[in-house]
């Protein structure tokens, strides 16, 4: 019996007088059944509330990590011709850290037990970020030439010695490669975080679910306060 059924039962009981203070075996039986049903529904909804809270927490961490990757990518994509070699190297290293963190968090979120929709969303986010680096083959080859490498899980690593040598040989080319990568990842991360993106839409969906469950808990509390009738 769901919450709506309880409400209907309550209304029927009042109409027929079952909920009156005068006791009878039939009334006691109905009251006990309704109370037991309410308690069962309360436990079920609380379990859903707990699960949704965990899922929202995971999504919050995913949003934070993707936002971090976006900020680092934006900084990389905004490198100007006046940027120093040291500044470019720092921006590149910061980007690698933030990008890898986003991939790791997406993988962790997808691996958590629970809602399949959340798993799929996190997997798509992971894949989208990886594609921002690897889908453009010429750009990927350019990254490799300046010291970047991509692991089997999509994470990045930077050979700083190779990067330093590339900067000395062709500082303009290195900067152009970094800027292009930054803009690609910035665009992808923004898409993931948008209201209709994998992260943004999932957050909206689970927040709506949480609000619905809170409403159901409120209804149950009201019913219990009146003895279920």
CA–CA gap between residue 130 and residue 153 (Å, rounded): 9
Q: Is the Cα dihedral 62, 64, 69, 73 positive or negative?
A: positive
pLDDT band for 4, please (50, 70, 90 cuts). Answer: low
CA–CA gap between residue 143 and residue 55 (Å, rounded): 36
- pLDDT greater than 50 at residue 174: yes
- Mean pLDDT along residues 4-18: 45
Residue partners of 206: CB distance under 8 A and separation at least 6: 52, 55, 56, 59, 118
pLDDT at 146: 98
For residue 11, what are its two tokens? 């209304």
Least confidently predicted of 37-46, 57-66, 76-85: 37-46
pLDDT tens column, 136-145:
999 999 999 9
| Percent of the chain scoring above 90 in pLDDT | 59
pLDDT at 27: 56
pTM confidence score: 0.78
- pLDDT greater than 80 at residue 154: yes
CA–CA gap between residue 217 and residue 205 (Å, rounded): 19
Residue partners of 32: CB distance under 8 A and separation at least 6: none
pLDDT at 229: 46
Cross-strand bridge partners of residue 157:
149
Q: How many other C-beta atoms lie within 10 A of the C-beta of residue 120?
A: 13
Least confidently predicted of 81-85, 98-102, 123-127, 216-220: 216-220
- pLDDT greater than 70 at residue 17: no
Average pLDDT, the chain: 84
- Mean pLDDT along residues 193-200: 94
Q: Higher confidence at residue 177 or residue 49? A: 177
pLDDT at 210: 77
CB 110 within 8 A of CB 126: yes
pLDDT band for 30, please (50, 70, 90 cuts). Answer: low
pLDDT tens column, 80-106:
999 999 999 999 999 999 999 999 999
pLDDT band for 2, please (50, 70, 90 cuts). Answer: low
pLDDT band for 62, please (50, 70, 90 cuts). Answer: very high
């Amino acid at each position: 019996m769901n919450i709506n059924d309880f409400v209907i039962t309550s209304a029927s009981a009042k109409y027929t007088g079952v909920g009156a203070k005068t006791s009878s075996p039939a009334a006691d039986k109905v009251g006990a059944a309704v109370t037991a049903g309410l308690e069962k529904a309360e436990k079920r909804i609380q379990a859903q509330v707990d699960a949704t809270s965990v899922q929202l927490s995971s999504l919050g961490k995913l949003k934070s990590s993707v936002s971090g990757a976006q900020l680092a990518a934006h900084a990389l994509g905004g490198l100007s011709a006046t940027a120093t070699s040291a500044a470019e190297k720092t921006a590149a290293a910061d980007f690698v850290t933030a990008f890898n963190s986003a991939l790791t968090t997406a993988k962790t979120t997808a691996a958590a037990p629970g809602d399949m929709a959340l798993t799929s969303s996190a997997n798509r986010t992971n894949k989208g970020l990886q594609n921002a680096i690897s889908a453009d083959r010429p750009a990927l080859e350019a990254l490799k030439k300046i010291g970047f490498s991509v692991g089997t899980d999509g994470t990045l690593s930077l050979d700083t010695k190779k990067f330093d040598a590339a900067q000395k040989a062709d500082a303009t080319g290195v900067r152009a490669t970094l800027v292009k990568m930054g803009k690609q990842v910035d665009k992808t991360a923004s898409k993931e975080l948008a209201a209709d993106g994998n992260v943004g839409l999932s957050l909206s969906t689970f927040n709506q679910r949480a609000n619905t469950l809170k409403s159901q808990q409120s209804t149950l509390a009201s019913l219990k306060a009146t003895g279920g009738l």
